[in-house]
């Protein structure tokens, strides 16, 4: 599945000041990592966000949001936000801030040997 380059550019712009940002292509989309942890991404026209699993159920009921699932089973902590939920700069920023805060709360990634 291709991803929206326009949405990817908006995410890049929102995260431009981060020195710890990395982009990774995965599952036909684009993933943005912070401190080595996935924060958000773009898949099709959707923003993919990673949120605290304890807040996932509540967040999944917000407008224009649905649980992320590749196999028919929702992936705890990951959500799709439809383009209607990211149409405005404020809407996009709110989701990115939420995702980055969660990624920053995780312990630092260690490099794999090998």
CATH value at residue 62: 3.90.1150.30
Q: Which domain holds residue 92?
A: 5-105
The answer to whether residue 61 sits within a structural domain is: yes
The answer to whether residue 58 sits within a structural domain is: yes
Residue 114: its pLDDT value, please? 59
In sequence order, which residues have a C-beta less than 8 Å from that of residue 74 and are 6 or more positions away? 60, 67, 68
In sequence order, which residues have a C-beta less than 8 Å from that of residue 81 and are 6 or more positions away? 46, 47, 48, 49, 64, 65, 95
Question: How far apart, in Å, are the Cα atoms of 69 and each of 28, 49, 74?
Answer: 14, 12, 5
For 26-77, the pLDDT digits (tens) are 878 999 999 999 999 999 999 999 999 999 999 999 999 999 987 888 889 9
The answer to whether residue 110 sits within a structural domain is: no
Residue 108: its pLDDT value, please? 80
Average pLDDT, the chain: 93
Band the pLDDT of 1: cuts 50, 70, 90: low
Residue 113: its pLDDT value, please? 64
pTM: 0.91
111 pLDDT more than 80: no
Residue 109: its pLDDT value, please? 79
Number of domains in the chain: 1
């Amino acid at each position: 599945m291709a991803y929206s380059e326009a949405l990817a550019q908006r995410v890049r712009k929102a995260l431009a000041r981060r020195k710890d940002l990395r982009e990774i292509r995965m599952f036909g989309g684009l993933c943005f990592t912070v401190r080595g942890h996935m924060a958000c991404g773009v898949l099709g026209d959707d923003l993919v966000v990673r949120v605290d699993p304890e807040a996932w159920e509540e967040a999944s009921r917000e407008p224009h949001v649905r649980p992320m699932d590749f196999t028919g089973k929702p992936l705890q902590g990951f959500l799709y936000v439809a383009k209607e939920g990211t149409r405005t700069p404020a809407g996009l920023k709110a989701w990115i801030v939420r995702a980055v805060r969660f990624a920053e709360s995780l312990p630092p990634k260690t490099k794999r040997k090998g």
